[in-house]
Chains A and B, each alone.
Chain A
Amino acid sequence: MPTDSGEHSQAIAEAAMRPSMYAKLFARYDGHVLPLMLPNVLAREFKVLPQSSEQVAQNFRESAEFAGLLRNGILSSQPELTQLTGDASPVPKITADRSDDMNLASDSSARPRIQISAADERTKAFVLPLDNQGRIAEVVLPLPLSSRDIRKLKAWVDYMSSVVEETPGEISAN
């Protein structure tokens, strides 16, 4: 029986991954964008009855979102850290003023391993794997993004580089 909100969130997340089909979906899409054509995937690859695939996909999305395991369209087998620890800022969140001289969607060359989520029409979420231990950074950017925004982001990254000391197995900020 959960004794605090963190354990409650963890229990909800566990329940969300218990159905055998859900477990397979989490294994397949963990850290990735859940496809918009999920009903088709369910029908073709998971043998879901075609007439039921929309409902199954909807139930899965609702369950994952409720458990905090579907954020910005990206599926994660780990519940949101804010629910577990109360940390208000578990991962970097970057925002920038909106402008219109560059569309981020057209620039894909600089981020070959980054997962991209089309969360909505005004923002795009990026998940950057930081290591092979499952640590990630999530960045949500407004669309369209301007070159001025990019310069601001680069300046912030440069600043972070100047204040972060890297030690084996651990990164700490001064």
Chain B
Amino acid sequence: MPTDESDFSERGPKAPVTSLPEALELLKLVRDRIGFAEASRETVAEALGHTSLNGTSKRKIAALSHFDLISRSGGGAYRISDLGR
């Protein structure tokens, strides 16, 4: 299993924990429940069906970031990226 929230690699390039079609399913949940507004990581986790921010939800959010489907602002909030639209 992955050692951290974002990838399968110890020190190499990063890889998402889901495939692209799976990530697009996750993106649809975010779009349907949050839209294109900025949201905290906790809110995104809830949109993905998790009651709290845990390892699984963090990895899913990271996968969305890997594919550039969501982006993170300087303040730490997330929003659907231009590519994700």
Q: With the chains together, A55 CA to B2 CA distance in Å?
A: 10
Count of A interface residues, CB-CB < 8 Å: 29
Interface on chain A toward B: helix, strand, loop, or mixed SS?
Answer: helix
A62 within 8 A of B: yes
Report how many A-B pairs have Cβ atoms within 8 Å. Answer: 82
CB of A11 within 8 Å of the partner chain: yes
Q: A126 at the A/B interface (Cβ < 8 Å)?
A: no
Contact B16 A20 (CB under 8 A): no
Chain B, interface residues (CB within 8 Å), range:
20 to 34
Instruction: From the candidates A11, A21, A49, A62, name the one contacting B3 in the complex (CB within 8 A).
Output: A49
Q: Does A98 contact B (CB under 8 A)?
A: no
Q: Which residues does chain A contribute within 8 Å of B68, judged by CB atoms?
A: 14-15, 18
B interface vs A, CB < 8 Å? Answer: 1-3, 7-23, 66-69, 82-85
The 10 closest A-B pairs by CB, nearest first: A47-B12, A63-B20, A62-B19, A52-B8, A21-B13, A21-B15, A20-B13, A19-B66, A18-B68, A1-B85
